[in-house]
């Protein structure tokens, strides 16, 4: 008998994109799937769209608490041996779950498998691809490469052993904002080996209100909070020199990005804290 996979879909006012997301999950080549849509207090017609599929989709309506709170609520309702997350503006290719389940069933030493992505426009027109590249013990990469998605678009690409998700306590709900899932995948990486399917199994949609359009200042603030939590959690296992280097790298990354866009004031504003106290 094939193992049950729980799919958690957090949604907030994405009625425009939800049909594509749900269709891509309902048409997966793999079964059995337990599909849980957590509506995070939407004020559009998201719930009406979800209810069209109420025979196959469990709908959990919640007050608006942010994407991590929605994901955690979905985890609490989950029964699957494996758990996957799909943001409600993203789309899966049909064989995503099948390929990932086959990998984890045949590789018990790995707790998470993800994939490459295709970046697409609002109407799903192809823009470019991004390859998955990190595998094995990835726990040290989060301090070496701060602000970078080690598990590429993890919240929509990853399939994870359900017991592992619950052991680490789910997502940190205080980190709602850009980069909110970096902390989750960092903690996962400290418990297990990671690998990827070398295919582009997720369509990542770029649009005006997606996270990809969030201001650089908000990205900086979100990634700074995630890095500071890493320092707190690993204060005995990382040296002060390593923390300082990681702190500088984070600020340098945002400095370079803003310079490329000729945002000189923002570049300086985001780089100056690199030389101050780490807090």
What's the whole-number mean pLDDT along residues 12-39?
98
Angle (CA) 255 260 264, round 5°:
60
Write the pLDDT tens digit of every residue in 215-274. 677 878 888 899 999 999 988 778 889 989 999 888 888 888 888 888 888 888 878 888
Tell me the pLDDT band of 7, cut-offs 50, 70 and 90.
Answer: very high
pLDDT value of position 187: 96
Tell me the pLDDT band of 214, cut-offs 50, 70 and 90.
Answer: low
Mean pLDDT of all residues in the chain? 92
What's the whole-number mean pLDDT along residues 90-102?
98
Residue 3's alpha-carbon distances to 9, 67, 79, 174, 191, in angstroms, are: 19, 27, 10, 32, 22
Asked if the model's pLDDT at residue 212 lies above 70, the reply is no
pLDDT value of position 40: 96
pTM attached to this predicted model: 0.92
| DSSP sequence for the chain | -PPPEEEEEEESS-TTTHHHHHHHHHT-S---EEEEEEEES-SSSHHHHHHTTTTTEEEEEE----HHHHHHHHHHH---SEEEE--TT-EE-TTHHHHHHHHHHH-TTEEEEEEEEEEE-TT--EEEEE-----B--TTHHHHSTTS-SSTTHHHH-EEEHHHHHHTTS--GGG-STTTTHHHHHHHHTTSEEEEEEEEEEEEE--TTSGGGS-HHHHHHHHHHHHHHHHHHTTTTS-HHHHHHHHHHHHHHHHHHHHHTT-HHHHHHHHGGGGS---
Asked if the model's pLDDT at residue 210 lies above 80, the reply is no
Write the pLDDT tens digit of every residue in 167-202. 999 999 998 777 889 999 999 999 999 999 999 999
Tell me the pLDDT band of 213, cut-offs 50, 70 and 90.
Answer: very low
pLDDT value of position 209: 63
Write the pLDDT tens digit of every residue in 98-134. 999 999 999 999 999 999 999 999 999 999 999 999 9
The fraction of the chain above a pLDDT of 70, given in percent, is: 97
Tell me the pLDDT band of 277, cut-offs 50, 70 and 90.
Answer: confident
What's the whole-number mean pLDDT along residues 18-31?
98
Angstrom distance (rounded) from CA 117 to CA 36: 23
Asked if the model's pLDDT at residue 93 lies above 80, the reply is yes
């Amino acid at each position: 008998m094939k193992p049950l996979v729980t799919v958690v879909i957090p949604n907030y006012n994405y009625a425009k994109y939800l049909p594509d997301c749900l269709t891509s999950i309902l048409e997966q080549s793999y079964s059995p799937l337990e599909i849980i849509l957590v509506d995070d207090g939407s004020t559009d017609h998201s719930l009406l769209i979800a209810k069209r599929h109420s025979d196959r989709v469990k709908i959990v309506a919640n007050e608006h608490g942010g994407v991590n709170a929605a994901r955690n609520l979905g985890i609490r309702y989950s029964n699957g041996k494996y758990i996957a997350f799909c943001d409600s503006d993203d789309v899966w290719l049909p064989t995503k779950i099948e390929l990932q389940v086959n990998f984890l069933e045949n590789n018990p030493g790995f707790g998470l498998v993800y994939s490459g992505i295709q970046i697409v426009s609002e109407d799903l027109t192809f823009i470019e691809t991004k390859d998955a590249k990190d595998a094995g013990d990835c726990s040290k990469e989060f301090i070496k490469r701060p602000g970078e998605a080690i598990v590429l678009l993890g919240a929509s690409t990853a399939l994870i052993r359900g017991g592992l998700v619950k052991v680490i306590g789910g997502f940190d709900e205080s980190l709602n904002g850009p980069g909110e899932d970096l902390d989750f995948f960092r903690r996962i990486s400290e418990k297990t080996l990671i690998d990827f399917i070398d295919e582009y199994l997720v369509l990542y949609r770029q649009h005006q209100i997606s996270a990809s359009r969030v201001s650089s200042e908000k990205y900086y603030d979100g990634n700074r909070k995630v890095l500071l939590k890493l320092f707190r959690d690993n204060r005995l296992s990382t040296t002060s020199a390593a923390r300082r280097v990681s702190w500088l790298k984070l600020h340098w990354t945002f400095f370079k990005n803003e310079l490329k866009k000729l945002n000189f004031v923002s570049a300086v504003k985001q780089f100056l804290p690199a030389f101050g106290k780490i807090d």
